[in-house]
Amino acid sequence: MTRRRDFHRMALAGAAAALGGPVLAQPKPRSGGTLTYAAGSATQTLDPQFITDVTTFRAVGTMYEALLRQDENGKVGPGLALSWTVSPDKRSWTFKLRPGVSFHDGSPCNAQAVKFTYDRILNPATGSPRRSTLAMVESTEVVDDLTFRLTTKEPFAPLLAQLSAYNVYILSPTHVQKEGANFSKTASGTGPFKLRSWQPGEKLVVVRNDKYWGEKPLLDSVVFTVVPEDSARTLMLLSGQADAISELPYVMVKKLSSLEAVRVIRKPGYRTIYLGMNLAVAPFNDLRVRQAVGHAINKQALVQGVLSGIGTLGGSLESSVIDGTAKELQPYPYDPAKAKKLLADAGFANGFSTDFMVTTGRYNMDRQVGEAIQGQLAAVGIKANIQSPEFGAYLAALNKGKVPMFMSGKGSPTGDMDFTQELLMHSTGKMNYFGFKNPEVDKLIQQQRVAIEPKERQRVLAELQKKVYDEEPIIALYYEDQVWATRSNVQDVKVYVNEFVDFSKAWKA
């Protein structure tokens, strides 16, 4: 493995060295051209209500829009809704829709479409894993073609952030009904790009929507291609086969930042990279074992050694840039001796073996981090057998609830803590791969949802994070910086704090 990495580093360094030279002055934005984006994992579905990963969000988000939208720094503002009002009891929200908007299939985007979309995700028969996004809704109502009303069961603090999420992109009723079971393989949104083709696991192509209600994209098309290997994506960028790549290997950031032919984009994000343990699978049902794992992992060494110092440490599941993060929670101290004692106390003086599922190419240098953790666990007697299927199979395995230990990432499409706490930490959460069931945590999740007064909500969120921290179903390894790279002739690619990438204003010189 070491020899293979050395070869890749030498190849990357050689390709990078060949790219020096002068760069022409930047011309004015121009129309036309195709941008090729190489991602580490594949788009999983084209049905917004079934999106559970950010790679799929990036692709589908070029074609669909929600009532509200976030800007690149996470501020929520108008989207398909131009304005909104709320009733004195904070339960009834009335939205005025943008006039003259059509779906890609030509049908109008109106209040009927919004009601259809929300009713669909709320319908248990739909089977959306993100039904909880609108679980607070009591009723939906069409007031007139351009006025939609939503009423919640009780006041709901994070509502506006929730309505900007990708799972509630507005759907065309005509298209959904026409496609039926085939809907997840097709698309008809209101976004700046529309679908040309999709080869699952390989490539997705979108083209400019010339009937877009807003400013039209400059690019003719964007190609999303799948390249799991970090080094292969980087070589594609250096050779010009790719115009943009995500998850740029951190070891290459300094080198590529010095090149005139490449532009490195680095931005904080909402994502936490964590190690999860399944409390429904022995021996992780024993808190002492989970604590031992926490003390066996040297998080500082992961960031400084494997990630070239790029990343931030913290103890909460929530990234340090998310509002309400309990920053007082520190990483579990690295203490191998204490880890061995905890294992002995739990009856594992000689350690134990476990399967350890790790992604390859989904997160920055994920496989390398997983291998470093494997070595650290081995030092205290835990033999972690790495398994690394392609990302779709990885998600399928987690959804079955049988994976004993895994490394994953938790982002946030909304930037509000409610979204991910409900999904990951609630006893019935659709992304609760930990078998974690704590009635007190469930109660706190509900309390923060209805706490309209900000200080009270912050207090509840802090208590919630502390209880999860003490039970240790997850170990926050680090908060991930987003590091992208483009060719220097590629302009105005916008990377958002919620990990969306906006190609709608991008162009190529």
Instruction: Find out whether 310 and 381 touch, Cβ atoms under 8 Å.
Output: no
Which is it for strands 221-226 and 34-39: parallel, antiparallel or unpaired?
parallel
- First vs last C-alpha separation in the chain: 39
Is residue 10 included in any domain, yes or no? no
Residues 457 and 495 in one domain: no
Distance CA 216, CA 503 (A): 11
Please give the residue range of the domain that contains residue 245.
28-46+191-268+482-508
- Torsion region of 100: left, alpha or beta (phi above 0 gives left; psi -120 to 50 gives alpha): left
- State the DSSP string of 161-216: HHTTSGGGPPP-HHHHHHHGGGGGG----SSSEEEEEEETTTEEEEEE-TT-SSPP
Look-up of token digits 């074609």? 63
Instruction: Find out whether 326 and 396 touch, Cβ atoms under 8 Å.
Output: no
- State the DSSP string of 101-152: -B-TTS-B--HHHHHHHHHHHH-GGG--TTGGGGTTEEEEEEEETTEEEEEE
Distance CA 378, CA 337 (A): 13
Instruction: Find out whether 413 and 165 touch, Cβ atoms under 8 Å.
Output: yes
Of 125, 142, 174, which residue constitutes the final position of a domain? 174
Tokens of 285: 């049902």
What is the predicted pLDDT for the residue at 361?
86
Bridge partners, residue 479, by sequence: 272, 312
Total tally of structural domains belonging to the chain = 3
Determine phi and psi for 149, rounding to 5 degrees: -120, 135
Tokens of 43: 């788009």
Residues 165 and 254 in one domain: no
Distance CA 501, CA 509 (A): 19
Of 147, 174, 201, which residue constitutes the final position of a domain? 174
Is residue 55 included in any domain, yes or no? no
What is the predicted pLDDT for the residue at 458?
95
Is residue 16 included in any domain, yes or no? no
70-124 confidence digits (pLDDT tens): 999 999 999 999 999 999 999 999 999 999 999 999 999 999 999 999 999 999 9
Residues 340 and 401 in one domain: yes
Contacts of 171 (CB under 8 A, 6+ apart): 48, 49, 64, 113, 116, 117, 120, 188, 189
Instruction: Find out whether 334 and 312 touch, Cβ atoms under 8 Å.
Output: no
Contacts of 363 (CB under 8 A, 6+ apart): 40, 247, 271, 273, 369, 409, 480
Residues 301 and 243 in one domain: no
Is residue 11 included in any domain, yes or no? no
Residues 33 and 111 in one domain: no
Of 117, 147, 174, which residue constitutes the final position of a domain? 174
What secondary structure, in 3-state letters, does 416-462 show? CHHHHHHHHHCCCCCCCCCCCCCHHHHHHHHHHHHCCCHHHHHHHHH
Residues 475 and 486 in one domain: no
Residues 318 and 442 in one domain: yes
Strand, helix or coil for residue 341? helix
Is residue 441 included in any domain, yes or no? yes
Instruction: Find out whether 109 and 97 touch, Cβ atoms under 8 Å.
Output: yes
Is residue 86 included in any domain, yes or no? yes
Residues 347 and 488 in one domain: no
What is the predicted pLDDT for the residue at 28?
86
What is the predicted pLDDT for the residue at 25?
54
Residues 218 and 125 in one domain: no
Closest CA to 275 of 36, 487, 472: 472
Residues 35 and 92 in one domain: no
What is the predicted pLDDT for the residue at 26?
56
pTM of the model: 0.82
Determine phi and psi for 230, rounding to 5 degrees: -55, -50
What is the predicted pLDDT for the residue at 166?
97
What is the predicted pLDDT for the residue at 230?
87
Residues 115 and 251 in one domain: no
Distance CA 108, CA 112 (A): 9
What is the predicted pLDDT for the residue at 6?
45
Look-up of token digits 């009635």? 439
Residues 127 and 80 in one domain: yes
Give the residue ranges of the chain where pLDDT is below 70.
1-26
What is the predicted pLDDT for the residue at 24?
46
